[in-house]
Amino acid sequence: MPFKQLVFSGVQPTGNLHLGNYLGAITKFVALQDNYDCIYCVVDMHAITVWQEPAELTHTTREVTAAFLACGIDPKKHIIFNQSQVAEHTELTWVFNCVARLGWLNRMTQFKEKAGKDRENVSVGLFAYPNLMAADILVYRATHVPVGEDQKQHLELSRDIAQKFNNDFAKSISERGFGDAFFPLPEPIIQGPATRVMSLRDGSKKMSKSDPSDYSRINLTDDADNIAQKIRKARTDPEPLPSEEKGLETRPEAENLVGIYAALEGTTRAAVLGQFGGGQFSTFKNALVDLAVARLGPIGAEMKKLMQDPGHIDAILADGSARARVIAAQTMTAVKDIVGFVRS
């Protein structure tokens, strides 16, 4: 049975949004609006799988929403909401807790990395987190999910869960007129050149909100002076820029800055090197400062403006949640019938 095409993705409200989130996720979300119906979710329930200071969680939830809006996601044509306002996510998670196998979750590399040696002491939620992610997507029967490399394994698990649900309940699904599959197998959308944005202090580490040095990242709320300072101080090597991509292979810091330029400009690394190759790094950095300020400055300013009116942001989340709930409730009604729950 063909499923209606629908895009779903989520962003965790934990810490500052930075250039990596912008180029890796949010710009992709923006681009997909033209060709798909999209649901973008601020996943506050995922956030609390590790401790979040309550006031901070509220603030960051609004800030991610502000970033969505400032970057150009249209909350009327599409849906922007926060996860905890649609209880069906949690309801479906329970069913999925009973579909997914312990062995599947045990293989999740992100859990192993996050739990580290402290396995006995992390929350049960952190372990079950991929089931919640599967429920996020499948409660809307979404077909396409823009995700970064680091979430591909979780998305595969979502497919496995959808598949096992479809198999386990095949008879009930067909008896209730849903054909041979109730859930679609959601596909990743990994568009454009892989935009892996690395730390400005160390080209071998990803740009991260948890890096102790604020100079390692450009935050979406940084002003023009901050952006300029961080790029000027970004680590480089003494060589001029190469004219071809091959020359970047052993130069992670140079490669990162060229990649950032290309992504912000919407062009290729080769084209950037065609323009700046052979020249001094300082010339290139000046151009990068101008470009980054031109692209990010207005976003940061708009976010600040939006954050001054939390009531307006909350109203957008309330509206999005109400619309999301309508779809999610339909799915849950069907799931309850398929599973055999008595309902009124």
Q: Kindly list the catalytic residues.
A: 114, 206, 209
Q: Is-contact 84 329, C-beta < 8 A? A: no
Residue of the chain from 17, 29, 32, 46 that contacts ligand TRP (CB under 6 A):
46
Choosing from 6, 10, 48, 327, the residue that interacts with ligand TRP (CB under 6 A) is 10
Closest approach of Cβ 90 to ligand TRP, in Å? 13
Q: Which is nearer to ligand TRP, 111 or 261 (CB)?
A: 111
For residues 15 and 50, the answer to whether their CB atoms sit within 8 Å is no
Q: Should residue 79 be labelled a site residue for ligand TRP when binding is judged by CB under 6 A? A: no
Rounded CA separation 192/183 (Å):
27
For ligand TRP, the closer of residues 10 and 259 by Cβ is 10
- Span 90-149, contacts to ligand TRP by CB under 6 A: 133, 136-137, 145, 147
For ligand TRP, the nearest residue by Cβ is 10
Q: Rounded to 10 degrees, what is the CA torsion of 188, 189, 193, 194?
A: -30
Site string for ligand TRP, 141-180 (x = CB under 6 A): ----x-x---x--x--------------------------
Q: How many residues bind ligand TRP (CB under 6 A)?
A: 13
216/62 Cα distance (integer angstroms): 24
DSSP 219: B
Per the CB < 8 A criterion, the answer to whether 220 and 293 are in contact is: no
Angle at 333 (CA atoms; ends 38, 65), nearest 5 degrees: 30
3 contact partners, CB below 8 Å, separation of at least 6: 141, 143, 184
- Minimum Å distance from CB 184 to ligand TRP? 14
Report in angstroms how near the CB of residue 28 gets to ligand TRP at its nearest. Answer: 11
Tell me how far, at minimum, the Cβ of 344 lies from ligand TRP, in Å: 30
Q: Can you tell me the distance from the alpha carbon of 101 to that of 12, in angstroms, rounded to the nearest whole number?
A: 25
Report, in Å, the least distance between residue 31 CB and ligand TRP: 16
CA proximity to 276, closest of 253, 294, 258, 295: 258
Is 10 or 242 the residue whose CB approaches ligand TRP more closely?
10
CA dihedral over 300, 302, 307, 310, signed as positive or negative: negative
Interface residue with ligand TRP among 6, 9, 200, 207 (CB under 6 A) is 9
When asked if residue 43 is in the footprint of ligand TRP (CB under 6 A), the reply is yes
Question: Using CB under 6 A as the criterion, what x/- string covers residues 215-254 for binding ligand TRP?
Answer: ----------------------------------------
Tokens 């890096």 label which residue? Answer: 211
251/237 Cα distance (integer angstroms): 8
Please state the closest distance from residue 331 (CB atom) to ligand TRP, in A.
15
Query: How far is Cα 211 from Cα 224, in angstroms, rounded to an integer?
Result: 21
Q: Does 27 bind ligand TRP (CB under 6 A)?
A: no
Strand residues in the chain grouped as ranges (E): 6-11, 37-42, 79-82, 144-146, 187-189
Task: Give min distance, CB of 133 to ligand TRP, in A.
Answer: 4
Question: What's the longest Cα–Cα distance across the chain?
Answer: 72
Chain contacts with ligand TRP (rule: CB under 6 A): 8-10, 12, 43, 46, 133, 136-137, 145, 147, 151, 154
